Amino acid sequence: MTGELQFRDVTIGYDRHPAVHHLSGAVEGGALLAVVGPNGAGKSTLFKGIAGAIPLLAGSIGRGGARARDIAYLPQIAEIDRSFPISVYDMVAMGLWKTVGLFGGIDTASRQRVREAIAAVGLTGFEQRAIATLSGGQMQRVLFARLLLQDARTILLDEPFNSIDSRTATDLLALVRRWHDEKRTVLAALHDIDLVRDNFPQTLLLAREPVAWGRTADVLTPQNLLKARQMCEAFDEQAATCAAPLAG
Amino acid sequence: MHEHAHEIAGAVSDEAFRRSLAAIIILALSAPPVGVFLMLRRMSLIGDAMSHAILPGAALGYLVSGLSVVAMTIGGLAAGLVIAVLAGLVARATELKEDASFAVFLLVSLALGVVLVTANGMNAEELMHFLFGETATSVDDEKLLMIAGNATVSTLVLAAIYRPLVLDCVDPNFLRSVSGAGVMAHLAFLVLLVINLISGFHALGTLLGVGMMIIPATVARFWTRDITTMIAVAVVAGAIAGVGGLWASAHADLPVGAGVILAAGLLYVASIILGPVGGVLWKLFPGRHLEA
């Protein structure tokens, strides 16, 4: 089984310091995988690496024949400039990038798709609102609408349920389940362990290096969680050069 | 009043004044949209820094062939691009942030410019023109063509990089995940910044030219929350300040740069007070709250 995503000794980081260190393994097509770990565990970095937003320091990622650009990616909401003067409609319509690119026009059918995506996340009537006027939960709905338009086989969600109300979380979780039912591959970086246990069949526990990976119940044991926390506290400014041979 | 109208009609019928008028309106079409992105990318002061950075290049051009439009343009363009690329590279290759990097290059190149200008005996009057713009009737055909050419390139390129530029501001990681156009857009944007500074420099002087970019953009921020409307408002604000300032400086025999930037400053103050998006009056008298 090659899998939808294949990590071959992947190391990703900044300024030679690895944020994700020697990750190997495969995510099967149609998997619903939670990526869990303490702050600084490398969850966001891993997602950026998969989405092609930052280069790998070593190793390679197989994407089941797809390109990095075919993968839909939801960035952390904190990384978005929400003061930028842009409307909900335009923000969602960015999800059409693959078809319209730099210059392409948005035809009637696409306009209809944008409206449907906005309706699907319950924001009908907000189309012309500036994103600066939205609440955190509404903003997250906008980003999910954009994902709907991207219509990708693999979807990466970086902390999609942070600082949003429970009703929004429930609505968005329903979308995640729908994607799972449609056999799409979904990876979500999450902090809420209970939410993971209730909704995600598989979990990768990450602390720069993979601590455990498999069925959620097997992965999220107290021992593993403790181990993950301890590993993350070991970041060293003076770290020696990693001795592991580079993957060929 | 009648006398004033007569005076304006007289000024407009003057060919040199008409050329200046055309130059300032063309500049108002091309520079403020770039300024809007400069502001939204939180690079307003970098624009300021860049305007100083082109000084040694323009001075070199002056050295070679006096107050020649083409020589000073080529010199300024070269200096601006070198500084933009160097500062960008230093920021990416080292721990230094881009603004700090620009600040260093600005100061060094300004000092270099001063040395070049004084060492070669530019007289005080020429230096005043160089820094603050000439009188209202000093735009010749060559300058006008240069400004118009720059504006054409600027507007077309801005249209071409519009989408990645917007996305790179709002959601850079998403842009990187769907396209590699972000880097290209940023570099193209720096080039647009430089060529508009050159135009601004020809119309308003090296020190004040950047004002036609930044001030209309900040004015527009007080009037709308929509990027497209913001660009339109900035262009209109730039045109009003340009025409008003030009007329005032012709009237009072002042350098054009000072007149136009003061006019833009008046618009800015008016916008702070009256602007519906965050303006002072709307905060003091918000009116009764709405239903939803």
In the beta sheet, which residues pair with residue A87?
A: A130
pLDDT (mean) for B191-211:
88
* Residue A195 touches partner B, C-beta closer than 8 Å: no
Residue keyed to tokens 């000072």: B258
Which residue of B171, B228, B290 to mutate against A (max A Cβ within 10 Å)? Answer: B171
Contacts B170 to A, Cβ<8 Å: 80-81, 84, 86, 91, 131
C-beta separation of A6 from A26 below 8 A: yes
Q: Would you list the DSSP string of A82-146?
A: TTS--BHHHHHHGGGHHHHTTT----HHHHHHHHHHHHHTT-TT-TTSBGGG--HHHHHHHHHHH
The residue among B250 and A172 whose pLDDT is bigger is: A172
**Number of Cβ pairs < 8 A linking chain A and chain B:** 71
The residue among B52 and A80 whose pLDDT is bigger is: A80
Verify whether the Cβ–Cβ distance A97 to B225 is below 8 Å.
Answer: no
Checking if the pLDDT of B29 tops 90, the result is yes
Widest CA span of chain B, in angstroms?
69
What contacts B121, CB < 8 A, 6 or more positions away?
none
* ∠ CA B169-B175-B176, rounded to 5°: 120
C-beta separation of B150 from B198 below 8 A: yes
Verify whether the Cβ–Cβ distance A85 to B227 is below 8 Å.
Answer: yes
Q: What is the pLDDT of residue A100?
A: 86
> Is there a domain that residue B21 lies in?
yes
The residue among B257 and B124 whose pLDDT is bigger is: B257
In chain B, how many H helices and how many E strands? Answer: 15, 0
C-beta separation of B23 from B149 below 8 A: no
pLDDT (mean) for A19-41:
92
pLDDT (mean) for B17-21:
88
What SS3 class is residue B171? coil
> Is there a domain that residue B58 lies in?
yes
What SS3 class is residue A37? coil
Q: What is the pLDDT of residue A187?
A: 97
Query: By CA distance, what is B225's nearest residue in A?
Result: A85
* Residue A78 touches partner B, C-beta closer than 8 Å: no
Q: What is the pLDDT of residue B64?
A: 79
> Is there a domain that residue B74 lies in?
yes
Q: What is the pLDDT of residue B69?
A: 80
Verify whether the Cβ–Cβ distance A52 to B177 is below 8 Å.
Answer: yes
pLDDT class of B73 with cuts at 50, 70, 90 = confident
State the average pLDDT for chain A: 90
Checking if the pLDDT of B138 tops 80, the result is no
Verify whether the Cβ–Cβ distance A133 to B225 is below 8 Å.
Answer: yes
Range in A48-52, A84-88, B79-83, B194-198 with the lowest mean pLDDT: B79-83
Checking if the pLDDT of A142 tops 60, the result is yes
> Which of the listed ranges A157-171, B124-138, B225-239 does the model predict with the highest average pLDDT?
B225-239
pLDDT class of A247 with cuts at 50, 70, 90 = very low
> Is there a domain that residue B151 lies in?
yes
Residue keyed to tokens 């990976």: A213
Contacts A69 to B, Cβ<8 Å: 177-179
* Residue A53 touches partner B, C-beta closer than 8 Å: yes
* Residue A75 touches partner B, C-beta closer than 8 Å: yes
> Is there a domain that residue B174 lies in?
yes
C-beta separation of B173 from A48 below 8 A: yes
Query: By CA distance, what is B159's nearest residue in A?
Result: A103
Checking if the pLDDT of B183 tops 70, the result is yes
Verify whether the Cβ–Cβ distance B170 to A51 is below 8 Å.
Answer: no
Checking if the pLDDT of B131 tops 80, the result is no
pLDDT (mean) for B134-139:
67
Q: What is the pLDDT of residue B22?
A: 93
pLDDT class of A248 with cuts at 50, 70, 90 = very low
The residue among B111 and A60 whose pLDDT is bigger is: A60
Q: What is the pLDDT of residue A121?
A: 95
Q: What is the pLDDT of residue A180?
A: 96
> Is there a domain that residue B291 lies in?
no
Q: Looking at the partner chain, which of A51, A81, A101 has a beta carbon nearest the beta carbon of B169?
A: A81
Query: By CA distance, what is B169's nearest residue in A?
Result: A81
pLDDT (mean) for B41-50:
83
Closest chain A C-alpha to B103 CA, distance in angstroms: 24
Contacts B224 to A, Cβ<8 Å: 85
> Is there a domain that residue B290 lies in?
no
Contacts B225 to A, Cβ<8 Å: 85, 130, 132-133
In chain A, how many H helices and how many E strands? Answer: 9, 9
pLDDT (mean) for B223-227:
93
Numbered residues of chain B with Cβ closer than 8 Å to any chain A Cβ: 40, 160-161, 163-164, 166-167, 169-174, 176-179, 181, 221, 224-227, 230
| CATH code, B261 | 1.10.3470.10
Q: Whole domain around residue B80: which residue ranges? A: 2-277
pLDDT (mean) for B45-71:
80
> Is there a domain that residue B199 lies in?
yes
pLDDT class of B12 with cuts at 50, 70, 90 = low
Q: What is the pLDDT of residue B208?
A: 84
Checking if the pLDDT of B243 tops 70, the result is yes
Verify whether the Cβ–Cβ distance A69 to B225 is below 8 Å.
Answer: no
Q: Are strands A209-215 and A72-74 parallel, antiparallel or unpaired?
A: unpaired
Verify whether the Cβ–Cβ distance B225 to A132 is below 8 Å.
Answer: yes
Q: Specify the pTM.
A: 0.85
Closest chain A C-alpha to B147 CA, distance in angstroms: 27
Verify whether the Cβ–Cβ distance B40 to A91 is below 8 Å.
Answer: no
Contacts B181 to A, Cβ<8 Å: 102
- Please count the structural domains in chain B: 1
Write the pLDDT tens digit of every residue in A45-70. 999 999 998 889 999 999 988 888 89
Closest chain B C-alpha to A222 CA, distance in angstroms: 34
Which residue of B173, B223, B231 to mutate against A (max A Cβ within 10 Å)? Answer: B173
* Residue A48 touches partner B, C-beta closer than 8 Å: yes
What SS3 class is residue A229? helix
